[in-house]
Structure 1
Amino acid sequence: MKIFRLRSVKLVLIGFIIVNLVFFYYTWNSFLWRRISRALTGEATDTKPKSEAAHGPKISPKDKARNANKHIRKSITIVFYGHYNFEQDLRPSIESILDVVPNMPILVLQEGAAEYAYPPVSFERNLTSGEEQTVHFMSLAFDVRRTREQLNPLAAVHTKYALLMPDSVRLSSKNLLQKILREMNTKSGKAPAQRVTVAPDEQVRRLLLIPFAGNSKTYSSCAKLNLDLPNWTMELEARNDTTHCDLFLQKHAILIDVATLGAMPEPFGLPFPEMLYVQAKIANLTTSVFPQSFLEGRKLFASFHTKQRRLELRRRQFREMYKKLQIKRLVRRTHRLGGKAAAREGNWQPHSPVLDAQFSYSNFSLPAVTDIDLFGCERTTKSCIGTVYNSRPFYYYLGKHTPPCCLDKLKTTFNHVLEEFENVGIRYWLDNYALKSAIETNQLSPDAYDIDISFNVQDLERSNAMKKSQSKPHVDNEGFYWIKATDGHYFRVQFSKVNQVGVNLLPYEISGNEVRASGFFGWKATTFASDYLHPMSTVLFLGKSIMCPNNVLEYLEGKNIKVKSDNVAPEEE
């Protein structure tokens, strides 16, 4: 019995071994045949692990850095502009960038004037293996020997974006460049928090502002910009909201689409970047401030001499910008210590035309201050109005109103004449289009370029200024220029001899029941009934009660002047 069991176990064991040998034989034969068939057909053997097949080959950190640098170089060109050669930090700034991103395309734009371009700046770098010369200097000065394409600085930019960089920067890593590039390449989707990738050929119509870490927290960085070109006005209001920053006042860089930059009429106009922001505002470009900052380089303009030299150049740049943009009034709404909320409209004092980093305190609990500066139309300068033909100044054809500086001087001259007449007792009345404007709005018309005041010629001798001006022009104690017109027996009071903004004094003679023009001609010299002057009425004009004829609507209609509204009726005295 024991022998039978032993034989049974041996048979089972032998059978199990035979089955395994057969299974191994067929398995090996199948794999061998598959390999032979692949070798005969030339099919490559897949030796990659499943993880690599799913996620791609494993990339080394060195290759990752190389790919990141390549992506940055293909997307961004760093453009240095707005520096001053008499004190600059360009070489260390460029070195710090190339140390982080080798072969980074860098363009240094240089103004052509001697005060900017001298002494000349150059850059040389000891190139290592794999490095190329990617730093280029370009002068913006006009050169008749160069073609239009060669004079265009954007022709030297071959990437989608340009990073407009100020002088004195230190780049410690490429992370910030990658982040701003990622931010620029995405846009808001339909959902509130959704971000959509921008198509490669899509033009990005916005500016991404990257501040510097050394910016002061005491002062506000952002300002809202409003341009009222028909009224020659620019308004700036300090803001703490970085999502609506029309003008960034402290040190920063700007990332912008090169196509958007090229669409501007003068992308590298001075002062920079203020002129760029004005053009961006007109083009309805959006701006946003990036939450991270660049590192500051060496502090520039620390000495009094270089600081004053730069400030003088900036003043000149801003004056030229206001002249080019035809800005005559600058309104600044800020928050400052010891400020008053009221605007200095009448007795305004000139401020620096430069918009600097200390524009406004960031503490908006401080009093709000409104400063108004007027440019042009001074006593020593000619009037901005110029010669008028057919009652239409040149700016009428530009779609603009009378410059605010001229309106201000016209009001000043009118108040001076009014004070003179009332002091000596001359019987006068507001006349013609100034009277029409007083009835309609109680203010001077935005298109007015003079004011007519009619007076009783019998009272002429009461005014020493008019009496002296009959024989020769007379300058009174306050600098106003009294002159008798050469084309008729009427008088004119100008703001000064050079500045011809002024008030016309029209003499009338009362003869019985009629009032006739005394020695002057034209459409203003109309004859009307003396009943309009007995009794006299008053109308509110420029904050004062001014004498005017009674039944004024009928009076003006007799001069073919139609009043748009009769909401404001003059009061009889």
Structure 2
Amino acid sequence: MRVSPCQASLGAAIGLNLLLLLVLYWRWPLRPVPPGSSCRPPRGAPGVTVLLREYEPLDNDVPGTARAFAPRHPVAVVTDAALYPPLPLPAGVTVLALRPAPERPPPLAQAERLVRTRHVALVPDGTRAAPGLLERMRAALEDGAGDARIAVAPVGTAPLRCLAVRLEAREWTVRYRHAPGAPGLCQAVEGSAVLLLRTRDLFALPFPLARPVTAALFIQAAFRGWRLRVLPAAFPLSRRLPLSPEAQWKARSGLETRRRRLMRELGIKREVLPDGRERWHGCGKDTARCFGTVHAGTPQYLLSGRWTPPCCLRALRETTRRVVSVLEASGIRYWLEGGSLLGAVRLRDIIPWDYDVDLGLYKEDVGKCRWLAAAAAGEAVEDEEGFLWEKAAEGEFYRVHYSRSNRLHVDLWPFYSRGGVMTKDTWLGHRQDVEFPERFLQPRVPLEFAGMTAMAPNSAREFLEFKFGAGAIENPEYPNPSVMRMGQE
């Protein structure tokens, strides 16, 4: 077989390349790649990433706080949108914007790629690094016994106070109280603090970077039964000029706005503070009520495993007090009806899952009250305290709303006597919505209800069992058992 000059040239080139590769191999041998190595640090690498999340947009010490931690730890500034005004951050400090943008990956997915360390520390603005303290917090979290999932250290000279937290999710309420003794293993703390936890725990929370940071983490931790391990050593606090009165006002206003938003996301309508004061985060006179139209007698919150929001119960009590005072001042004969009477007998209050209050009254007395008379003539009128009186669209009865915006209401049912039996012109098909003997109203009797005294039928037990059936008082049930029964939450 003859080899052409072209084939000979090609073979020589291939041989020369193989010889060159062999020489390179012997001169720079390939080293095996260690298992798990990559161009980026492995997920869950040892160390602590510092997140700066709690700061004011204008008057802050974020650059100084970042510089204090950046030499030894990765630092990220967490912001809702792009930082504005821009901050002179040290080299290597990352900015993580949480607001979604169509051209970027989901923000929390970015956060999980950014935080490569096994632990993360949420550091408040103005904190200064203390040598080895983050490492001691990490060791206390990993080496300590018990169910602690967050390590806490104070910032500044003021000590932390240990708090006990009681969640009443069905009542949309969280209660705090000071726990006795020195801080150790707590459910929450009072005071400025650095919080350290495992990265996987932080990003497993539904609201991992919500503000205010400490309130968000403590409530979410309480839902999961997590504890806090408190260290006595403190981080230094930077010396800064005091904020101007305007800046202080903006800081307080911003904090309150963020807290309201957080509580709405967490489903908390009321906070009871250690000193007994209350913070309310639900509806008011100038807002809509906390729930929508009720279908089949079953509010949506019942299907979510909750009872009537406490702000709604408070508004119903206020409305009832107003209506009762007007009816009594007008000389109108009224009485507690239906589920409201049931709540008065059972609890001296509104039933915790009820969404309105029912009062009966004598139809012939309607004209004695100017608000009711105007409503009967087809005019919706707002009284001097902002309650709205109107005729119901569903039939021949009246409603008094908490306000024009907030439609929490008291229903007023006009009854009249026919042959000794109390009847009315509109029936909505409720089980308890039946005629009854007038003798239950002769006489009416006072009964404690919702923080006041209201008039009620005599022989209340007999009246209720006439309407609801035997055992109605002792056997609570939801308004429409065919949709949801007690105990099915």
The TM tier, using the shorter chain, reads: 0.7 to 0.9
Residue type of the partner of 1:109? V
The C-alpha deviation readout for 1:188-219, integer Å capped at 9, x for no partner, is 39xxxxxxxxxxxxxx852111112x3336xx
* Paired position in structure 2 for 1:121: 87
Q: Does 1:164 align with 2:106?
A: no
Partner Cα separation in structure 1 for residue 127 and residue 413 of structure 2: 66
SS at match of 1:299: coil
Partner Cα separation in structure 2 for residue 206 and residue 112 of structure 1: 26
SS at match of 1:119: coil
Q: Does 1:400 align with 2:366?
A: no
* Paired position in structure 2 for 1:215: 157
CA contact (8 A) 1:444 1:542 kept: yes
Question: CA 1:456–1:305 in structure 2 vs 1: closer, same or farther (change >3 Å)?
Answer: closer
Partner Cα separation in structure 1 for residue 315 and residue 95 of structure 2: 48
* Paired position in structure 2 for 1:414: 320
Partner Cα separation in structure 2 for residue 181 and residue 511 of structure 1: 78
* Paired position in structure 2 for 1:380: 286
* Paired position in structure 2 for 1:187: 144
Partner Cα separation in structure 2 for residue 545 and residue 315 of structure 1: 36
CA contact (8 A) 1:480 1:494 kept: yes
SS at match of 2:150: strand
Q: Number of aligned pairs?
A: 428
Residue number among 456, 473, 486 corresponding to 2:362 in the alignment: 456
The C-alpha deviation readout for 1:15-69, integer Å capped at 9, x for no partner, is xxxxxxxxxxxxxxxxxxxxxxxxxxxxxxxxxxxxxxxxxxxxxxxxxxxxxxx
* Paired position in structure 2 for 1:76: 48
CA contact (8 A) 2:445 2:458 kept: yes
Residue number among 253, 259, 262 corresponding to 2:194 in the alignment: 253
The C-alpha deviation readout for 1:431-462, integer Å capped at 9, x for no partner, is 11111122222221001111111111222222
1:171 deviates by 3.3
CA contact (8 A) 1:454 1:505 kept: yes
Partner Cα separation in structure 2 for residue 322 and residue 97 of structure 1: 31
Residue type of the partner of 2:281? F
Question: CA 1:478–1:177 in structure 2 vs 1: closer, same or farther (change >3 Å)?
Answer: closer
Structure 1 residues 445-454 or 424-433, which shifts more?
A: 424-433
Residue type of the partner of 2:382? V
CA contact (8 A) 1:453 1:505 kept: yes
Residue type of the partner of 1:216? A
Partner Cα separation in structure 1 for residue 448 and residue 322 of structure 2: 17
The C-alpha deviation readout for 1:361-400, integer Å capped at 9, x for no partner, is xxxxxxxxx2123333322221223211111111111111
CA contact (8 A) 2:336 2:360 kept: yes
SS at match of 2:46: helix
Q: Does 1:556 align with 2:464?
A: yes
Residue number among 385, 393, 400 corresponding to 1:486 in the alignment: 393
SS at match of 1:539: strand
Partner Cα separation in structure 2 for residue 321 and residue 84 of structure 1: 17
CA contact (8 A) 1:440 1:563 kept: no
Residue number among 159, 171, 195 corresponding to 1:231 in the alignment: 171
* Paired position in structure 2 for 1:173: 131
Question: CA 1:184–1:461 in structure 2 vs 1: closer, same or farther (change >3 Å)?
Answer: closer
Question: CA 1:483–1:89 in structure 2 vs 1: closer, same or farther (change >3 Å)?
Answer: closer
CA contact (8 A) 1:429 1:549 kept: yes
Partner Cα separation in structure 2 for residue 274 and residue 155 of structure 1: 25
Question: CA 1:186–1:557 in structure 2 vs 1: closer, same or farther (change >3 Å)?
Answer: same
* Paired position in structure 2 for 1:262: 203
Question: CA 1:206–1:328 in structure 2 vs 1: closer, same or farther (change >3 Å)?
Answer: same
CA contact (8 A) 2:366 2:373 kept: yes
* Paired position in structure 1 for 2:39: none
Give me the CA root mean square deviation: 2.7
SS at match of 1:188: coil
* Paired position in structure 2 for 1:513: 420
CA contact (8 A) 1:210 1:253 kept: yes
The gaps in structure 2 that reach 5 residues or longer are: 1-44, 476-489
Q: Does 1:322 align with 2:268?
A: no
SS at match of 1:333: coil
Structure ID, larger Rg: 1
Question: CA 1:528–1:545 in structure 2 vs 1: closer, same or farther (change >3 Å)?
Answer: same
Partner Cα separation in structure 1 for residue 234 and residue 215 of structure 2: 20
* Paired position in structure 2 for 1:105: 73
Partner Cα separation in structure 2 for residue 404 and residue 497 of structure 1: 20
CA contact (8 A) 1:85 1:120 kept: no
Alignment of 1:240-389 (within 5 A): 241-299=182-240, 302-334=243-275, 370-389=276-295
CA contact (8 A) 2:148 2:185 kept: no
Partner Cα separation in structure 2 for residue 464 and residue 95 of structure 1: 70
Partner Cα separation in structure 1 for residue 69 and residue 451 of structure 2: 61
1:232 deviates by 1.2
Partner Cα separation in structure 2 for residue 149 and residue 413 of structure 1: 45
Partner Cα separation in structure 2 for residue 287 and residue 122 of structure 1: 34
Question: CA 1:501–1:563 in structure 2 vs 1: closer, same or farther (change >3 Å)?
Answer: farther
Q: Does 1:153 align with 2:119?
A: no
SS at match of 1:295: coil
Structure 1 residues 550-559 or 509-518, which shifts more?
A: 550-559
1:94 deviates by 3.9
1:543 deviates by 4.5
SS at match of 1:447: coil
1:93 deviates by 3.5
Question: CA 1:461–1:283 in structure 2 vs 1: closer, same or farther (change >3 Å)?
Answer: same
Residue type of the partner of 2:165? L
Partner Cα separation in structure 2 for residue 439 and residue 452 of structure 1: 14
CA contact (8 A) 2:140 2:229 kept: no
1:316 deviates by 1.6
CA contact (8 A) 1:232 1:404 kept: yes
SS at match of 1:559: helix
The C-alpha deviation readout for 1:323-342, integer Å capped at 9, x for no partner, is 111222221122xxxxxxxx
Question: CA 1:209–1:497 in structure 2 vs 1: closer, same or farther (change >3 Å)?
Answer: same
Partner Cα separation in structure 2 for residue 159 and residue 297 of structure 1: 26
Partner Cα separation in structure 2 for residue 85 and residue 536 of structure 1: 62
